Every structure is written in C-alpha cells, then in structure tokens.
Chain A
Amino acid sequence: MEAEFRASSQADLARYDAEFLLGLYRDMLRTRALDTRIEALYKQGKLVAGCYSSRGQEGLSIGSTAALRKDDVIGPMIRNLGSMLRHGIPMTMVLRNYLGRATGPTKGRDGSSHFGSLEHNVIAPISMLASLIPVMSGVALSFLMRKEDRVALTWIGDGGSNVGDFHEGLNFAGVLKLPFVLILENNQYAYSTPIEYQTAAKDFACRAQGYGIPAMKVEGNDTLAVYEVTKEAVERARGGAGPTLIEANTMRMRGHAIHDDAKYVPKEMFEEWEKRDPIATFAERLRKAKILDDRTAKRIDDEVKAELEAQTDDAMAQPPADPAHEIDEVYAP
C-alpha cells in the first residue's frame, strides 16, 4: 500500500473561485506578518521566552485548515500559527498570550501560541509532542458518540511522530474509524536532529499501513495541493470512512525556537527551500493566472499591515498578568 503523492498543477487554479484563492494568499501573508512581528517584539525585548516560527510552513497550515468547516475542531501545534488565524483566532489573542497579558487566553499562565479556545473550536497543545493525537481522537470520538457531522484535525512533526502517542492514537482512531485527520509536517529537522536520525523507514506515510488506514503524501509548500489532499481526507472522515495520515514535505526556515541559529542546517538547504517559499510561489501562480495583479497585491498587503498594527496596539495596551489571580482556576468550580 504505497502512499499516493500529490502536487497540484498550474491548470488546477481554473477550478477555483478567485476570492477563495486570494483568501488563501491573504491568510498566508497574515501568518507571516504576525510571525515576523513576534520575532521583532522578541528582539526589542518586549516579549520574553520561547518564540516558535512557522516561517516557510504557512502554506501547510492555511491549505489544510481551509479544507475544514468552522465547526470542525483543530489541535494546532507550535508551527500552525496560520491554522489558528484561519480558524478565526484574532491576532491580538496570540500576541496577548506571547506577551503574558492578564486579558490573554491563558492570563499569562502559558506562553507562545500554547492556548486553545473552545469558542473557535481550537484545542490547546501541550509541549509533549504527539499527545494531541490521542486527545484529538477523543474529540473525534465525541462526534461519533453524539452523531455530529464534524471532523477533528491535528498536525505532528517528523520528530514527534516517534513518540508512542502517535502510534497509540492513530491505531485507536483506525480501530474506531474516527472522523480524524492527521497531517505530518516533515520539516526535515526536529530541533537539531535530521530525519535520518529519527527513522530508518523510507518515509513517514508508510506507518499508516500498520494501522490499516490510508496515507497520502503531498508537496507541503504547495498550498493548493495541501488543500486538495486534506479536503479528500476530511470528506472521507465525514463520510464515516475513518482517519487518514497525510505526509507533507516542507522545511523549517528558522531554528527550533528563536534562540537557535540552526547552524546545523547546511546553507544550501535553506537556499534551496527559499526558492520553494509557499507564499512567493503561490503569488507567482496567481499572477500567471491573472488572479493577482499589482493593485490587488497592494490592497491585500495594506489590509494585512493595518490589521497587524491595530492588533499589536491592542495587545500592547493590555494589562500585565496579575499575581493576585495566579492560584485561581486550577480546578473548575
């Protein structure tokens, strides 16, 4: 059972509504803008602790989340900033959490993009990788039990796929034919460890075979291809056919976190992947198809900038975390 590989072709664009395509483009730009702002705030000393960049992986988050309905539930990992934005989380919520503000989604109790919002159908991750896989299976199980027409989707990395929970969770979802989709973002490095030190297998998709579930492979920087395979998996899940594993090839364009200069990555590798940047390549395709022109590009750019400035101002104006409430809410009342 060889996984099928997908890369979408130029001709595919014609099948889509222009507004939908521009929406993908816009959400990728929003992701990069916020990501860049977080980096800048860190460098200005306004933001402390871990900053995890999604740079270079925006297409994957946006393409996959675009295949969902708003009532579907996502469990984003630290490099799925775009998924959060696409699923309706406002930028200020992310910034308030990074800045540890009292009015942020965790009130300063957790940092980075480590938060969830049931209102937005977003489940918070924990730092232990792959834990979300059994948990999101449980979310999918709740849909099965309540006969709800919804899907649960989460992501995992090349490194995280070696944690036991990856295997327990996928097997569990397979046995129960849960409406669940797992996207494995192979971004070549787990912190400093390259994939050949992670697995002796030829790829990650082959693991699905062990759980009796289908797998697909996709060019992860091709936003539309990611959208298409995810859509297929989501439809399978919605139709009661069970979970799918999608392996997406991509590259982490920064270190593990902002303190990490990623010197262990060969320079040529970064150069090669820079040419495959998901935003630049998608913009070029949109231009060739005459969906994007200078005027539209500028309009979108201005809108994204205006949103970022307003949302940053809002977050910066929030009060700091309050130690008086530090011990509250350990338990639900």
Chain B
Amino acid sequence: MSEITYLEAIREGLLEELHRDPDVFCLGEDIGTYGGAFRVTQGFLKEFGRPRILDTPLSESAILGAAVGAAIMGLRPVAEMQFADFVANGFNMLVNFAAKAHYRWGAKVPMVVRLPSGGGTRGGPFHATNPEAWFARVPGLKVVCPATVRDAKGLIKAAIRDDNPVLYFEHKFLYRRLKDTLEGEVLEPIGKARVAREGSRVSYVSYGSMVYHGMNVAEELAKDGVDVEVIDLRTLVPFDEETVLESVRKTNRVVICHEDTKMGGFGGEVAARIAEKAFEHLDAPIRRLGAKDTPVPHAQELEDAFAPQPKDIKAAILETVAY
C-alpha cells in the first residue's frame, strides 16, 4: 500500500464514486482536457468521456445552476469552482436555489461543489480566500472542510452520496503537503468531528489548514509538558457541537482557530456555543484566532502576517493554559 497525497485522495474518492454510480458526473472549467487547474481530475475525460466529464463555459452561475437542475432530476453532479473565491459569481444558485429547494417543495438536490480554498500559496485577494462562513449560516447547505488525507477521500465520497447540496472545501496548502496510506473502503460521516489528538490541559478546536498547524504545535508543546487536545471539526454544517463541548468539559480551556478572517468567522459560532452550554466548565476565557480582517494579501510578508501562524497558535495556547 503506497502513500497518497490529500489531492490524490480527493481524486481517488471521485474516481471510486464515478465507477460505483452512473448518476455521478463532474462539471467545471478546465476539468476535462486539462484535468483541472490543480489536476485533481486529470485523466477523467479519457476514462469517462464527455458529457460525464464536462468542460463548461466560464460561467460559475451556469455551472452551479445546471448542477442544481441535474441534481433535482436525480443525477449527482460534482461541480468544481476553479478557486473557491469564484463561487461568489454563483452565490445565488447555492443560497437561494439549492439551499431552499427541499424545505420549500421537497425536492432533493444531491450535488457537491468542490471549492479549492485557502492561502499560504501567495494567491492574493482572489485566489486564496476561505469563504466557508458565507455558507455555514445558510440553512439547507452542508459544509465540509477536510484536514487529513483520510477525510479528503472519505468526505468527498460521503458528500457525493448525500442527498443535500454539500460544499466541499479542499485546502490548497494541504494538497501536496499531506501524505498517508489508506486501506479498504474509506467513507467518513458528514457531521461528525474528530479528536485528532487526545490531551488534558487545553482544547484546540479547528478545521482545514489550521488543524495541520495545530497538530505540529501540539507535538512541540507536548515536549514542554503541555498536553493539548486537538479537535478537527471536519464538518461545519451539521456542526458536531457535542464533541467540542465534551472536550471543553474535560480540559476547561479552549483555543479556537481558523484561517478565515475573524469577524463573522465560524469560530464565533463555536465560541458562542461553548459560552452558552459549557460556561461553568471554563477556567479561562475562550480564545479565538483568525486571520486579520483584510482581503487576503499577496506578498509573502503580508500573507504571513495576515493568517494565524504556528507561533501565534503556540502563544495563544500558552496564554490560555497560564490564565
């Protein structure tokens, strides 16, 4: 069994579902002949042909709208936004059409939107954002943010099998950085957080790229005797509140961290739930880390100052433990 990357795990998951279910198809810009801007779908066209692997016009709203229509008719489209940032062009299709269909008239919309997101790649204001919070507060949408190779595969497969519109945020920084060996059928549940590392002194709650950084910091702090519990949310919606609360009840201290900007970020919701439901268990104020409230800047010096860095995570954890 050889190691695969996070990116290859997404690709494997897609391939397995395409083979398993003839109703699954992929559409997006440059996903066919070119194999996708990040080569996630490389070779798919040759294997499955057009229209099942569909290079579309440069029209995000038409891509998402067509996916909605095909999904209502019972197909299982996987629509790729070339960069998560571009989903802004198709916002209405997701928040008004896809999200409300089942509630309004009982129509299932079993579609997946793949959104390569996040920074650390010097992508700048239009190629590096983390727009998950735009959607996490829209009833009717599911939002998943895999942070490991296993979840990259297990959650894309679960997303495709789900009868609801699922926004699948794949983190570009993790694409080729993470490697793992996967055996057997990999299918992970949507709506279940994961204790990535057990610990006793403080809970570190995160998702996406900040799980990767948090795990590294936790290993480093373990050497100094600070035992950090790392919670990987994996799914923002449905939000697995219980796993977070359980951890906080145990450690009595919490640091929440995401790469998205802080104002209105999903961390605010996590903090509010803890304050509402586990306040009496807290021995220190809830600490919340997020990017600065600016567009994502391009230059290395600026981007590194923008998003939480391992040193910021370490400092926040130590301050919370010392409180």
Other-chain contact of B69, A109, A127, A134, A332 (Cβ < 8 Å) = A134
Pairwise interchain contact B97-A332, C-beta atoms closer than 8 A: no
Task: Given A331-B142, A333-B163, check contact A135 B102 (CB 8 Å).
Answer: no
Which of B61, B62, B104 has the most chain A CB atoms closer than 10 A to its own CB? B62
Other-chain contact of A110, B92, B97, B104 (Cβ < 8 Å) = B104
Measured in the bound complex, the distance between the Cα atoms of B104 and A169 in whole Å is 23
Instruction: Give 8 A-B contacts (CB < 8 Å), ordered by A residue.
Output: A110-B104, A135-B68, A141-B69, A152-B69, A168-B59, A168-B62, A331-B140, A332-B109
Pairwise interchain contact B72-A134, C-beta atoms closer than 8 A: no
Does residue A233 face the partner (Cβ distance < 8 Å to B)?
no
Within 8 A of A (CB), among B105-147: 105-110, 139-140, 142
Within 8 A of B (CB), among A29-56: none
Comparing A118-126, A214-222, A296-304, the segment that makes contact with chain B is A118-126
Does residue B43 face the partner (Cβ distance < 8 Å to A)?
no
Does residue A324 face the partner (Cβ distance < 8 Å to B)?
no
Within 8 A of B (CB), among A90-118: 105-106, 109-110, 114-118
Pairwise interchain contact B69-A171, C-beta atoms closer than 8 A: no
Within 8 A of B (CB), among A122-138: 123-124, 126-128, 131, 133-138
Other-chain contact of A135, B65, B108, B139, B163 (Cβ < 8 Å) = B65
Chain B contacts of A105 at CB under 8 A?
105
Pairwise interchain contact B97-A139, C-beta atoms closer than 8 A: no
Other-chain contact of A109, B96, B104, B163 (Cβ < 8 Å) = B104
The 5 closest A-B pairs by CB, nearest first: A138-B69, A134-B65, A138-B66, A142-B73, A168-B62
Closest to B110 in A: A332
Task: Given A329-B102, A329-B103, check contact A131 B66 (CB 8 Å).
Answer: no
Chain A contacts of B72 at CB under 8 A?
118, 123, 135, 138-139
Measured in the bound complex, the distance between the Cα atoms of B320 and A190 in whole Å is 58
CB distance from A96 to the nearest CB of B (A): 12
Measured in the bound complex, the distance between the Cα atoms of B73 and A296 in whole Å is 41
Chain A contacts of B142 at CB under 8 A?
331
Pairwise interchain contact A109-B57, C-beta atoms closer than 8 A: no
Does residue B25 face the partner (Cβ distance < 8 Å to A)?
yes
Total cross-chain contacts (CB, 8 A): 131
CB distance from A47 to the nearest CB of B (A): 19
Pairwise interchain contact B75-A142, C-beta atoms closer than 8 A: yes
Pairwise interchain contact B70-A142, C-beta atoms closer than 8 A: yes
Pairwise interchain contact B107-A116, C-beta atoms closer than 8 A: yes
Closest to B106 in A: A329
Pairwise interchain contact A172-B69, C-beta atoms closer than 8 A: no
Chain A contacts of B68 at CB under 8 A?
134-135, 138
Pairwise interchain contact A135-B105, C-beta atoms closer than 8 A: no
Measured in the bound complex, the distance between the Cα atoms of B96 and A329 in whole Å is 16
Does residue B268 face the partner (Cβ distance < 8 Å to A)?
no
CB distance from B284 to the nearest CB of A (A): 35
Closest to B141 in A: A331
Other-chain contact of B104, A124, A131, A138 (Cβ < 8 Å) = A124
Does residue B74 face the partner (Cβ distance < 8 Å to A)?
yes
Within 8 A of A (CB), among B54-102: 56-57, 59, 61-75, 77, 92-93, 96-97, 100-102
CB distance from B236 to the nearest CB of A (A): 14
CB distance from B125 to the nearest CB of A (A): 22
CB distance from B67 to the nearest CB of A (A): 6
Task: Given A141-B66, A142-B70, A145-B70, check contact A176 B51 (CB 8 Å).
Answer: yes
Does residue A88 face the partner (Cβ distance < 8 Å to B)?
no
Known: A106-B104, A134-B61, A141-B66; 5 extra A-B contacts, CB below 8 A, are A128-B96, A134-B66, A135-B68, A137-B66, A145-B52
Closest to B162 in A: A332
Task: Given A110-B105, A118-B107, A124-B105, check contact A136 B69 (CB 8 Å).
Answer: yes
Does residue B209 face the partner (Cβ distance < 8 Å to A)?
no
Binding site for A on B (CB under 8 A): 25, 51-52, 56-57, 59, 61-75, 77, 92-93, 96-97, 100-110, 139-140, 142, 163-164
Measured in the bound complex, the distance between the Cα atoms of B97 and A329 in whole Å is 15
Chain A contacts of B73 at CB under 8 A?
73, 138-139, 142-143
Measured in the bound complex, the distance between the Cα atoms of B96 and A25 in whole Å is 36
Closest to A148 in B: B73
Measured in the bound complex, the distance between the Cα atoms of B206 and A210 in whole Å is 48
Task: Given A134-B93, A138-B69, A165-B61, check contact A115 B51 (CB 8 Å).
Answer: no
Closest to A73 in B: B73
Pairwise interchain contact B107-A109, C-beta atoms closer than 8 A: no
Chain B contacts of A332 at CB under 8 A?
102, 108-110, 163-164
Measured in the bound complex, the distance between the Cα atoms of B71 and A165 in whole Å is 18
Pairwise interchain contact B65-A331, C-beta atoms closer than 8 A: no
Pairwise interchain contact B105-A172, C-beta atoms closer than 8 A: no
Does residue A200 face the partner (Cβ distance < 8 Å to B)?
no
Closest to A172 in B: B62
Measured in the bound complex, the distance between the Cα atoms of B75 and A105 in whole Å is 23
Task: Given A141-B51, A171-B59, A331-B164, check contact A123 B69 (CB 8 Å).
Answer: yes
Other-chain contact of A124, B65, B77, B107, B139 (Cβ < 8 Å) = B107
Chain B contacts of A137 at CB under 8 A?
62, 65-66, 69
Chain B contacts of A127 at CB under 8 A?
96
Chain A contacts of B105 at CB under 8 A?
105-106, 110, 115-117, 124
Pairwise interchain contact A175-B104, C-beta atoms closer than 8 A: no
Task: Given A330-B102, A330-B140, check contact A171 B107 (CB 8 Å).
Answer: no
Pairwise interchain contact B67-A138, C-beta atoms closer than 8 A: yes
Measured in the bound complex, the distance between the Cα atoms of B105 and A124 in whole Å is 8
Chain B contacts of A131 at CB under 8 A?
65, 92-93, 96-97
Give per-residue flags for A217-247: 1 if the beta carbon is below 8 A from chain B beta carbons, else 0: 0000000000000000000000000000000
Chain A contacts of B64 at CB under 8 A?
134
Closest to B140 in A: A330
Measured in the bound complex, the distance between the Cα atoms of B52 and A141 in whole Å is 10
Does residue A164 face the partner (Cβ distance < 8 Å to B)?
yes
